Amino acid sequence: MAAMKFAGSPTPTIATRGFTLIELAIVMFIVTLLLGGMLLPLSAQQDIRNFGDTQKGLADARDALLGFAIANDRLPCPASTTSNGQESFCTTSGGACTETTSLQTHGRCAYPHDGFFPAATLGLSPVDAQGYLLDGWGGESAHRVRYGISTANSSAFSTTSGMKNTGITTLAPDLEICSNGAQIRIPPVTTAPDTSLMYCHPSFRLASDAVAVVYSLGKNAGTGGTGDDEKHNPNPQSAALVAPDRAFANATQGTAFDDQMVWLSKNILFNRMVAAGKLP
């Protein structure tokens, strides 16, 4: 006997009944996980790109310093917060410093250890609206590239023909680069092996005779400067923990330190100046 059929709605199948709320929730959860997994790598990739752009910009800035030195028989002074990317001098060779952007024969810089890279003087880019060189993070005044220069030999390195007149064997640049900010000796401690001048502990010294240093305060420039490492690099915060000095920290990159730095060795500078016929 044939099976009897009853009138009415057909039994719903998987294809016709749709998704339940639980199934939709599971799908949304999976989509959220996938999107979250994509966003993190994109953010990390942007950080890597900014880091690389900054490192290249710092290397270009160092090359620009060499070119300027060969053309002008001196290195430029750092820019100040008000000089619009132009190098800034003191009007006198000693005593209180009155700032000026006019070249001074004595070569004394207004902000030798805590100034900015003079991009307007050297014609480097990218710069902000005020003429200051920006690092790869860009867009804010906190991301302006910093620059320090040695004041040794009576500012011979920033004085026109100062290096030539002083002589290679006498020139003694004194900027120090330390691999650990906690190992920067701070006055007034003067017991051996410390001195009255800031310097790196010998075991944590990367350079003791750098002529100039060019650096970025990194991604956290607006909030950094409170750790043992970062606080030793001049920071554009009102709460900077130490005064500007000749010792700079170039510690291992991490959550507590993200500054990026290059420095100009005296031997590289002398080599380029001799090759160009500017020294001895």
DSSP string of 117-134, one letter each residue: --HHHHT-S-B-TTS-BB
65 in any annotated domain: yes
Of 21-30, 167-176, 180-189, 235-244, least confident by mean pLDDT is 235-244
For residues 162 and 69, is the Cβ–Cβ distance under 8 A? no
Strands (E), 57-156: 89-90, 99-100, 115-116, 146-149
Query: pLDDT for 113-142, tens place per residue?
Result: 999 999 999 999 999 999 999 999 988 888
216 in any annotated domain: yes
252 in any annotated domain: yes
pLDDT of residue 191: 57
76 in any annotated domain: yes
DSSP state, 89? E
The total domain count for the chain is 1
Structural element, H or E, at residue 177: strand 175-178
DSSP state, 203? G
For residues 135 and 145, is the Cβ–Cβ distance under 8 A? yes
Average pLDDT of the residues in 216-241: 70
Instruction: Identify which has the larger pLDDT, 44 or 97.
Output: 97
138 in any annotated domain: yes
Provide the pLDDT confidence category of residue 6 given band limits of 50, 70 and 90: very low
7 in any annotated domain: no
Instruction: Identify which has the larger pLDDT, 259 or 13.
Output: 259
pLDDT of residue 244: 79
Is the predicted pLDDT of residue 238 greater than 50, yes or no?
Answer: no
Residues linked to residue 147 through DSSP beta bridges, in sequence order: 115, 214
33 in any annotated domain: no
User: Domain containing 145: what range?
Assistant: 47-275
62 in any annotated domain: yes
